[in-house]
């Protein structure tokens, strides 16, 4: 740091006071070029939810006074995803300090703690953030508290350089570090809590004399120390602080989060026969005494009641399953599927916007779309609810205790009354009254002895083969 910068700092008094509340700024303007994707990096899904929404949920749990997300121009998808949290535009990609500077106008009146986070660190826990904020509140409060960690491979992470007093002296980016500095194992997580009263002044002193020609947020550490402020470190778990910049890192984060979700499910009384083959969404709700067999995938929005058994190779998304139901193997439950108490959804059955009543069964090779199936009804193998006419979707209603024979096509809109029976192989285009029999198929034709002649004709070699 130049002598002129130090002199300017000495000429401006600093007042650091403990704070019991904070403003959160989440930096999400990066394009994520290493993801090789048209999708903004922070919108890539993790356990069925965009990266940044994992972090936002954690931040909201800590009840900030205000929160802002910094984005780049044109990031309308990100703005929509984080709404109603307001966004701030960083007009040019000039580094993390410039991104924070873009946000400061939105909370220029704030004098308490400013918490700065990166939108691509989705596994960060509320407890770790709370420790960071608690360190800022201690008297005399540090001007900055930096979150550090010790990854197995420090790689491109910035290094935390400690002073003789054991405090944080400066942060050096890996690309600007010497060989001795690269040997440091304590790394910068890119997350810090700062004194809001001094922040604008410190940001004005950040330069861009570095390998990237950018305004680095970590430079605030040396600037704050030159200003007489204390800088402290809180060390966090490496498993929470994985920053996601590549598809490979996204896969690592997915695996880590899945392990958390599986452990939480089993702690709650769920049996996972082969945990590593079960994939859960961030909001999967499994009650106690649910059993999940291998190779089951849960998309977002699934609720499963007690006593349910989900057999192997099933895929569920946006579905609700009642107590004691049986699903699969090889079942697919799409959004809007509701499986009633003790109902059965068997192998190669697909449901979409359909309700299967209590004790009803659809055990084999069936499509139930836009349908209501009453309690105790039986849906035979190969049944299809023909819900789409090429322009619009239509509903099928099947009453309680109705029996639908195998290989039937129910052309919606259509109503099958309670207790009605549909003969196998029928195509039903009209409503069927309660307790009626509906059969719609060609009459059976029998020709005695015909098969004998048929076999003789087939067995005789063609003339060109003689």
Active site residues: 364
Rounded-to-integer distance, Cα 331 and Cα 400, Å: 23
Torsion angle of alpha carbons 313, 317, 319, 323, nearest 10°?
Answer: 40
Rounded-to-integer distance, Cα 143 and Cα 222, Å: 11
The CA-to-CA distance between both ends of the chain, in Å, stands at 101
| Chain Cα centroid distance, residue 92 | 29
User: Who contacts 411 (Cβ-Cβ below 8 Å, separation ≥6)?
Assistant: 386, 427, 428, 429
Taking CA atoms, 152 is separated from 33, 125, 194, in Å, by: 24, 20, 28
DSSP 3: H
Which two tokens mark 112? 């308490």
Rounded-to-integer distance, Cα 385 and Cα 270, Å: 34
Residue 28 φ/ψ, nearest 5 degrees: -140, 30
């Amino acid at each position: 740091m130049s002598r002129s910068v130090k002199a300017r700092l000495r000429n401006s008094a600093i007042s650091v006071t403990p704070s019991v509340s904070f403003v959160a700024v989440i930096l999400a303007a990066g394009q994520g070029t290493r993801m090789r994707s048209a999708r903004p990096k922070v919108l890539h899904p993790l356990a069925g939810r965009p990266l940044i929404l994992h972090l936002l949920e954690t931040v909201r749990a800590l009840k900030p006074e205000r929160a802002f997300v910094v984005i780049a121009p044109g990031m309308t998808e990100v703005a929509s995803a984080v709404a109603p949290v307001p966004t701030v535009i960083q007009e040019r990609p000039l580094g993390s300090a410039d991104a924070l500077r873009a946000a400061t106008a939105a909370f220029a009146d704030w004098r308490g703690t400013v918490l700065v986070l990166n939108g691509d660190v989705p596994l960060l826990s509320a407890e770790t953030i709370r420790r960071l904020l608690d360190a800022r509140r201690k008297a005399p409060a540090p001007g900055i508290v930096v979150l550090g960690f010790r990854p197995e491979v420090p790689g491109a992470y910035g290094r935390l350089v400690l002073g003789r007093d054991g405090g944080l002296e400066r942060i050096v980016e890996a690309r600007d570090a010497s060989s001795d500095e690269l040997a440091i194992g304590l790394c910068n997580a890119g997350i810090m809590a700062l004194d809001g009263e001094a922040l604008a002044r410190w940001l004005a002193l950040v330069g861009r004399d570095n390998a990237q020609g950018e305004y680095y947020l970590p430079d605030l550490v040396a600037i704050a120390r030159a200003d007489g402020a204390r800088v402290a470190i809180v060390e966090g778990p490496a498993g929470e602080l994985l920053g996601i910049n590549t598809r490979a890192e996204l896969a690592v984060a997915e695996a880590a989060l899945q392990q958390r979700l599986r452990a939480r499910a089993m702690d709650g009384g769920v049996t996972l026969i082969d945990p590593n083959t079960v994939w859960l969404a961030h909001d999967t709700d499994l009650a106690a005494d649910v059993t999940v067999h291998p190779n089951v995938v849960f998309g977002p929005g699934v609720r499963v009641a007690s006593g349910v058994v989900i057999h192997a190779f099933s895929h569920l998304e946006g579905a609700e399953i009642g107590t004691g139901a049986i699903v699969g193997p090889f079942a697919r439950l799409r959004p809007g599927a509701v499986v009633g108490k003790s109902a059965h959804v068997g192998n190669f059955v697909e449901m979409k916007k359909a309700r299967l009543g209590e004790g009803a069964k659809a055990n084999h090779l069936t499509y139930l779309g836009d349908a209501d199936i009453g309690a105790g009804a039986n849906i035979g193998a190969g049944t299809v609810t023909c819900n789409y006419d090429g322009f619009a979707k239509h509903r099928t209603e099947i009453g309680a205790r109705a029996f639908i024979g195998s290989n039937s096509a129910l052309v919606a809109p259509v109503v099958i009354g309670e207790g009605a029976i549909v003969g196998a192989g029928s195509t039903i285009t009209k409503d069927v009254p309660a307790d009626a029999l509906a059969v719609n198929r060609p009459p059976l034709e029998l020709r005695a002895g015909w098969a004998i002649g048929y076999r003789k004709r087939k067995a005789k070699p063609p003339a060109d083969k003689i």
